[in-house]
Amino acid sequence: AGPDPYRYIASGVFNIPITKITSGQRFLGKTCKLALDYQAGWVRFAHTLRIGAFGPPIEITDTLARDIHTAYRATIPMIVRGWKRINNLFQSAFAGKQRLEDKCLAYEGVGNTMWTHLPNGMAIRYDDVRYDREQGNLSYISEYRRNGVKPPTILRTRLYGGICCENNCQSLANVVITEHFVAVLDEVKQAQLVMQTHDEGVFIVPERYGTKLLAA
């Protein structure tokens, strides 16, 4: 229920009624939500728009990208505090080689590996975590090793509160959606889950059970 969130954000950016937002302006609002909510800088924000990562490419000046970035962050103080909170828990768990509970999640540092434990027993694993050093002391986690399926198969990736927040959100969303998939399969025994794309499940079922599957 409620207005399209991407159009709502774009309405604030362009200061025009939500009903007047074009598809290109909506894409800019979508990029704000999917990038700036997770601590992307203005350079990455501008690049994401220009290459059309979430929709049609949009040309944007550096000045406008910086202005939108600054203004948007000012509107989400609770999310900004959330990045810092997650980052502090992450740092403390890794530095102390301890497990710290955080509502339905738990952060745990073991050797050079960081784990974020999910409520269904699965976990997000960050291998070969490294610290940046400041005046000889451990200061903050900076990166981890990400294993890819295509060359180069081993990459170093930045690690910070915003990306940890994004990984948490995506993983918890997957927990929720897969539990729904299991519930559907329990309800309609004849159904088969053949594909999942983000929050979409594709099932096949004999036609005579189609109405039952839709109701499930």
Tokens coding 115: 């784990």
Contacts of 188 (CB under 8 A, 6+ apart): 205, 209, 212, 213, 216
Residue 216's identity, in one-letter code, is A
Q: What is the DSSP string of 76-129?
A: -HHHHHHHHHHHHHHHHHHHTT-EEEETTEEEEEETTEEEEE-TTS-EEEEEEE
pLDDT tens digits in sequence order for the chain, 216 residues long: 678 999 999 998 888 999 999 988 898 999 999 999 999 999 999 999 999 888 788 899 999 999 999 999 998 999 999 999 999 999 899 989 999 999 999 999 999 899 999 999 999 999 888 877 654 444 456 777 877 777 777 778 888 899 999 999 999 999 999 999 998 888 888 889 999 887 888 999 888 888 887 787
Task: Identify the residue whose tokens are 């999942």.
Answer: 196
